[in-house]
Amino acid sequence: MIAGLKGRLIRKSPSQAILDVNGVAYDIHISLSTYFQLPKLQEFATLQISTQLRNESIQLFGFLTLQEKETFTLLTGITGIGPKLALSILSTLSVNDLLSSIQSNDIDRLSSVPGIGRKSASRITLEMKDKINRLQSVDMPPGEPPNKFLSNELEEDAASALLNLGYRSTEVKKAIQRSLQNNQEEWSLENLIRESLKELAKG
């Protein structure tokens, strides 16, 4: 079983990273949190790997932090939460936000994740409450530096990431537009996606 990979980053998107490890290219599913922290293309990256066997195929899920990988493992141990849905949860909520929501039994926040209804949200809080203590001592990585300006490409990347999470195109467009009305002086892709997710959660 593959537990980790270190290699040259040859491709990345909000949901995928491809690492060249000694001439072998590994296709790895990633969360938005991991995507935000990846280095530039052709630089080396180390990912914690969760190997999943589904329908006789092997899928790799990669994370920059052990905390996120362990959270993913706990989520996929919950009835009805598969790896793709667990990745969607970690893309919508940071690990700290997820832990906070579980501790405060914030069903509304958890059910704002695409594919998670109130029943699934209740199950997550019930089954994870006694398992999250070991996750809280691991430090989170620093956020990416903001861009000096907002470009159309940045908006398109944000929209693509949100669509990958399962939100509808009309919802995404409105959420991004509402976020931009905040008139923030400096934007990064992470900031724009996070603000748009907050707008989407409002409905």
pLDDT tens figures, 126-174: 888 777 765 654 444 444 433 333 446 777 778 878 877 777 777 888 8
Contact 90, 161 (CB under 8 A): no
Q: What is the pTM of this model?
A: 0.70
Give the confidence band of 48 by pLDDT, cuts at 50, 70, 90: very high
Virtual torsion, Cα 142, 61, 159, 97, nearest 10 deg = -50
CATH number of 66-135: 1.10.150.20
Distance, in Å, from the CA atom of 30 to the CA atom of 19, rounded to the nearest integer, reads 12
Q: What is the pLDDT of residues 3-13, one digit of tens each?
A: 899 999 999 98
Closest CA to 135 of 35, 66, 84: 66
Domain spanning 4-63: CATH superfamily: Nucleic acid-binding proteins (2.40.50.140)
Domain ranges of the chain: 4-63, 66-135, 152-202
